[in-house]
Amino acid sequence: MRITSGGPAPEDDPGPDLSDPEFFGTGDPHPVWTRLRAHDPVHRQCPVGGKPEFWAVTRYAEVSRVLARHGEFTAARGNILTTLGQSDIAGGKMLAVTDPPLQKRLKEPLVPHLARQAVREFEPALRELSRRLLSAGARQDTWDFAAQAAFYPIAIGGLLLGIPEDSWNRLKHFTYAAVAESDPDYAGQGASRSAVLNRAHSEIFLHFHSEVTRPGRADADDLIGVLLRAAPDGEPLSREEVILNAYSLLIGATVTTSHAASGGLLALLENPGEYARWLETGDTTALVEEILRWTSPANHALRHTTSQVRLDDTDVGAGEPVTAWLGSANRDERVFPDPFRFSVDRYPNRHIAFGVGAHRCIGAHMARLALTVLFEEIARNFEQFELAGEPRHLHSTFIAGIKNLPVRTVLRPEGAGLRDLRPLGETTEEAL
């Protein structure tokens, strides 16, 4: 694939289209990112098919700088590519698209509840959810791990935001549609991308609107209760701020964690020597860090420059969009020796899968715990896991995801108890 550097590309060879969900759904971005890191680390993505142009940084150093320096690179005009060219109505009200110092008001009330120590209270519930996820493998030898794993984060969102199980299927569908509106499984027949996005956003907002207006909801011992009771600097959050930030937490939790799980399992199956080494050492903490680096489920983050800046040796004008590709930064050969080797005990492992700076993921401790517990349960309950078909990937520029991961499994005697559990994906909810 030809790499275009600066200036308009010739009509007949526009180079890679980093804004094309199809490219990430069916293609392999790694060879493209590797060439960009080597030859064009501050790449100008030329307009393709009438879409707006933007800059793309792919090295660890520039990705970290774009995300860390909020004074130079603002998130307030949107933090994902699908919002490019439109003004983000949530800017200044939702923490993901609000810069410091205003962001502090939205983030501070939540931080203590998602701290490392605080999330430990969820460990028994996460273990039970993991076992339900894996129970599909106790009933059939061949099953779809990714399809089951897709319910794990909405269940985690359920723990944090008080979402009842009979809403999981519906909210899971709309959170995915909100980040993968072009994916054939979410696009809907003949609906435009904006119609799919609008429906997804309204369904999620409606859910949280009815939640926050429910009498007594502020007393609940969950993050919606925390947001409703919060009064930073003596001023309560508005109802709109509560709904937008509940939305942000749901999207953050739902669309990422399951892909780390499926991508991590796939990496183990493709590297049986590493799988065996992990079982031998039992070091699931190091495994999870390598899974996060390897899968980098949040593929990119978008920012806009606040003034002219020099990135590497390229001048980027004021007000221009810059995308920071986390999946590429986490394979940067300048930082990670042998970056394309999946190594269950990689050390040091300074990956930036959770981002950098003021917008660094608030759910990182919860995600790490959820993944650790899940992989511990995999090791405890299964003798063997092997690939039983081709994985199918999500069509999304934002989420590096796996939709289907057919596996064949052999249960250990310790796994017999899984047979009595109801699989996560088994729902009594009405079809959408």
User: In the complex, what is the shortest distance from the CB of residue 67 to ligand HEM, in angstroms, rounded to a whole number?
Assistant: 5
C-beta atoms surrounding 104 within 10 Å: 16
Q: Cβ closer to ligand HEM: 169 or 248?
A: 248
Task: For residue 109, give Cα distances in angstroms to 20, 92, 221, 230, 367.
Answer: 37, 16, 14, 6, 19
Ordered DSSP codes for 18-38: TT-HHHHHHS-HHHHHHHHHH
C-beta atoms surrounding 267 within 10 Å: 18
For 8, which DSSP code? P
Please tell me the distance from the alpha carbon of residue 262 to that of residue 405, in angstroms, as a whole number: 7
Peptide bond just before 101 cis, omega within 30 deg: yes
| Tally of CA atoms within 13 A in the half-sphere of 126 that contains its CB | 23
User: In the complex, what is the shortest distance from the CB of residue 128 to ligand HEM, in angstroms, rounded to a whole number?
Assistant: 17
User: In the complex, what is the shortest distance from the CB of residue 213 to ligand HEM, in angstroms, rounded to a whole number?
Assistant: 22
User: In the complex, what is the shortest distance from the CB of residue 282 to ligand HEM, in angstroms, rounded to a whole number?
Assistant: 22
Q: Cβ closer to ligand HEM: 35 or 201?
A: 201
Please tell me the distance from the alpha carbon of residue 65 to that of residue 323, in angstroms, as a whole number: 12
User: In the complex, what is the shortest distance from the CB of residue 44 to ligand HEM, in angstroms, rounded to a whole number?
Assistant: 21
User: In the complex, what is the shortest distance from the CB of residue 399 to ligand HEM, in angstroms, rounded to a whole number?
Assistant: 9
Please tell me the distance from the alpha carbon of residue 416 to that of residue 186, in angstroms, as a whole number: 35
Sign of the CA dihedral with 194 first, then 195, 198, and 200 last: negative
Q: Cβ closer to ligand HEM: 296 or 381?
A: 296
Q: CB burial class (10 A; 0-12, 13-18, 19+) of residue 174?
A: buried
Reduced to 3 states, what is the DSSP secondary structure of residue 380? helix
Contacts with ligand HEM, residue ranges (CB under 6 A):
67, 75, 79, 95-96, 107, 114, 160, 248-249, 252-253, 256-257, 260, 297-298, 301, 326, 353-355, 359, 361-363, 366-367
User: In the complex, what is the shortest distance from the CB of residue 90 to ligand HEM, in angstroms, rounded to a whole number?
Assistant: 11
Please tell me the distance from the alpha carbon of residue 414 to that of residue 409, in angstroms, as a whole number: 14
